[in-house]
Amino acid sequence: AQATVHNDVRLDIQAADGKQLGLTITRDLVVPFVAMNFGPQQLYPRATYQVAAPEDLGGLTNAVSVLVPLGLKVSQREMRERVGLSEPEKDEELLSVPQAPTAPAPGSKPDDKSAKRAKPSETEKVDPAGAPASLAARAVRSGDAIDRAVDEILGDWEPLVAPMIAGLEAKLSAASNEAEARTILTAHLAAMDPSALAEKLTQAVFAARLAGEAGELLTDEA
C-alpha cells in the first residue's frame, strides 16, 4: 500500500513538472518563433508534456482470462506488447501449464496395476454417513467420474456460452480506446445472463451429490 501511494505521488510530481515544462517551452520558444516568422498572433501553439498513466495489467489480464474461455478472440501480439513481453526465440525454453495425467480411453482395458488400484477392497466400502468424502477419495484414484462430467459439460459449451458473449465482439470493435473497451467489458459482464451455464453446472453437482449419497461412482458400468 505504501509503495502504491509513493508511486501515485511520483506520477503527480511528474505531471506537474511536465505541465510547467510545457508552459516554459511555449513562452520562451514557441511564442518568439511564431512571432518572428509569422507576426504577432492572437493564439499561439502550446507545447505539452504528456505523462502516460500506468496500465492496470492486473485488470487487463483478469478480463482476458475470463473472456477468452468464453470465445473472445484476443491478439497474442497485442497482449505481448501490452504486458511488455517479447516473442520467444526458436530454441528458448518456454513456460507452460503442467499437463494433467492422461485418462484412459473409454472402453480400453487397464493394465493389472491400474486395475488393482482402481478396484476397491473390502475395507473401502462406502459408509453412507461419509459418502461424499469416501466417494471423493475413490474418485481421486480413478478420475473417471470427474473426467466424464467435465467432458459432458465441455461438449455443450458453445450453446451455453453463445448467449453470454452475443454482441460483445461488435461492441469492442466500436471502442476507440482502452477506457471505452474497459467500460464495455464491465457493462457486458454486469448484464451477462449465465443461467444456461449455471443450470448445466447445477445438474452436474446434483448428480454427483446423489451418487455420493448412494455410494456409487458416476460410471457407465453397473
213 and 180 share a domain? yes
If asked whether residues 158 and 179 sit together in one domain, one would say yes
**Residue 60 and residue 160 share a domain:** yes
Supply the pLDDT for residue 117.
53
Chosen domain end from 54, 74, 95 = 54
Domain boundary among 36, 54, 72: 54
Domain that includes residue 20, residue range? 1-54
Residues 204 and 170 in one domain: yes
Report the range out of 33-47, 70-84, 108-122, 160-174 with the highest average pLDDT: 33-47
Q: Are residues 67 and 7 in the same domain?
A: no
Contact indicator for 153, 146 with CB cutoff of 8 Å: no
The answer to whether residues 152 and 215 belong to one domain is: yes
Residue with cell 445472463: 193
Q: Domains in the chain: how many in total? A: 2
pTM of the shown model: 0.29
The pLDDT score that the predictor gives to residue 214 is: 66
My answer on whether 68 and 161 are in the same domain is yes
- From 54, 73, 95, the end of a domain falls on 54
> What DSSP letter does each residue of 106-144 carry, written as one string?
TTPPP-HHHHHHHS--GGGPPPGGGHHHHHHHHHHHH-H
Question: Residue 188 gets which letter from DSSP?
Answer: H
Q: For residue 92, tell me if it sits in a domain.
A: no
Condensed to tens digits (0 to 9), the pLDDT of residues 28-76 reads 999 999 899 998 888 999 998 887 777 777 888 888 888 888 888 888 8
